[in-house]
Amino acid sequence: MSLPKGQTVCLINLGCAKNLVDSEVLLGLLAEAGYIPYPDPAMAEVILINTCGFIQPARSESRKVIREALRHKKRDPNKRIGVLGCYVEKEKESLKQLFPEIDFWLGVKELEKIVPAIQGQDFSASRYTFLYRENMPRLLSTPPVWAYVKIAEGCSHGCSFCTIPAIKGAYRSRPLASVINEVKALAEAGVKEINLISQDTTYYGRDREKRHELATLLEALVKIPGIAWVRWLYGFPEEINESLLKIMTEPKICPYFDLPFQHSSRSVLKLMRRGFDGRQALRLLERIRRYLPDATFRTSLIVGFPGEGKREFQDLVNFVREAEFDHLGVFVYSPEPGTEAYSLGDPIADQEKKRRRHEIMALQAEISRRRLKRFLGRKMEVLIDGMANKTKTIYYGRTKYQAPEVDGGVKIPWPEGKKPPAPGLGWVEIIKTGRYDLRGCWLG
């Protein structure tokens, strides 16, 4: 196989959508410097691994990928490998001892130095976690019709189980104009859906003493020509205020609330150092539904946290049943060294944690099935990204009630031989509903 002329780079991204945005910017910086992105690590001259260090399973995955990269290096000693990101920031010295063959390491404060790092030049780290600017080059890896836009880095909350503040530092948000200008450029490139992301998107601007700046940002983004949908992901329920609810009624803004409540039991939440118990959460959901009767809710929960006895777990089950979330994820508690909760130990057996997770997810599956039935027979706008099954007899889309990568979608049967739908917006009639997905008849 003949490779392009120049130095080829394969970047392997692990972890969350925030990592993905960083990886896209790194690819942009590398391309600007003359490097050529290449998908095959076995053939690329440089392998980069952007790691996740949030929880133990993510770190295990990162180590596995590093070992795979080193096997390529063993076959080709001239290949260079760089390991980047959160896991490096968290445990660089131990990783260096574990993998001495790695050529260079970059923590989250050094990502912008990717080009001098590959070239073996000296560089100094920033004081802050890398947060890209709108004028930096970026190579999108998502389908051309939608993109993530990271509006902040770090976190200033003190959740007792979370390592993010220790890894990434205090919350720091991009200026309003920077985000607006980036979205304008994405719109000019044909992007239709913008997904705003950060550790706490509802906290946007608070670090700059601007309390309700997310509402101001949303108000500006809906005015940008070409943008059809705007969605924000991951917010704290305490930050849902009147100004945000009012702007959420704008047609371009997806009526989608990603609010990780984590638990419902007051005693467990106190140990987690989280606010909003189950009763408060239910009142908030009711309030939002009064504003937006068709509002869609995603949450994430933790089971097996120290202090979650049978009564506290049953409280959580009852909460999930009553809240009727559209989308829900459950994490099994994993004690993290360095966090406040680590001192509480890990008293609940792994098998019991998994059983509790299974019980919640089984309940949620039935709730999701029931919630989706409200769309049956409706004509709905969908975003088509060009993805299809192998035979191209089914194409996939999403409604504004479904976020990319984490939720279900709309399966659209497609007659064999018919010209495929162009990526972008179209209309379907919902003809069938399932547990997590919809099926729609293409209307054009």
pLDDT in tens, 294-335: 999 999 999 999 999 999 999 999 999 999 999 999 999 999
pLDDT higher than threshold 70 for residue 214? yes
Buried b (16+ CB within 10 A) or exposed e, 148-171: bbbbbbbbebebbbbbbbebbbeb
Residue 131 CA: distances (Å) to CA of 41, 69, 110, 128, 378: 27, 27, 11, 8, 41
Query: Strand, coil or helix: what is 106?
Result: strand
pLDDT higher than threshold 80 for residue 3? no
3-class SS shares of the chain: helix, strand, coil, % to 5:
35, 20, 40
Q: What does DSSP assign to residue 410?
A: E
pLDDT higher than threshold 80 for residue 2? no
Distance CA 210, CA 203 (A): 9
User: What sign does the dihedral 49-53-59-61 (CA atoms) show?
Assistant: negative
Distance CA 383, CA 228 (A): 10
Cα-based torsion angle of the residue sequence 174, 175, 179, 185 in order, rounded to the nearest 10 degrees: -120
Please state the rounded mean pLDDT for residues 48-74.
95
pLDDT higher than threshold 60 for residue 4? no
**Structure token digits, residue 343:** 């001192």
pLDDT in tens, 65-77: 999 999 999 999 9
pLDDT higher than threshold 50 for residue 12? yes
Query: Strand, coil or helix: what is 263?
Result: coil
Please state the rounded mean pLDDT for residues 57-65.
95
Rounded to the nearest integer, the mean pLDDT of the chain is 95
pLDDT higher than threshold 70 for residue 1? no
In this prediction, residue 70 carries a pLDDT of 97
- Tokens 């009767």 belong to 293
Q: Where are the alpha helices (DSSP H) in 292-334?
A: 310-323
Q: Where are the alpha helices (DSSP H) in 226-277?
A: 242-247, 266-272
Please report the domains of the chain, with CATH numbers, ordered by start residue.
Answer: 8-118 (3.40.50.12160), 146-374 (3.80.30.20), 376-442 (2.40.50.140)
Residue 272 CA: distances (Å) to CA of 162, 261, 305, 383: 9, 11, 8, 38
Q: Helix 213-221 and helix 176-188: axis angle, to 10°?
A: 20
Q: What does DSSP assign to residue 293?
A: T
**Structure token digits, residue 80:** 């260079």
Portion of the chain with pLDDT greater than 70, in percent: 99
**Where is pLDDT greater, at 214 or 415?**
214
Please state the rounded mean pLDDT for residues 48-73.
95
Q: Which of 360, 376, 357 is nearest to 431 (CA)?
A: 376
pTM, whole model, 2 decimals?
Answer: 0.94
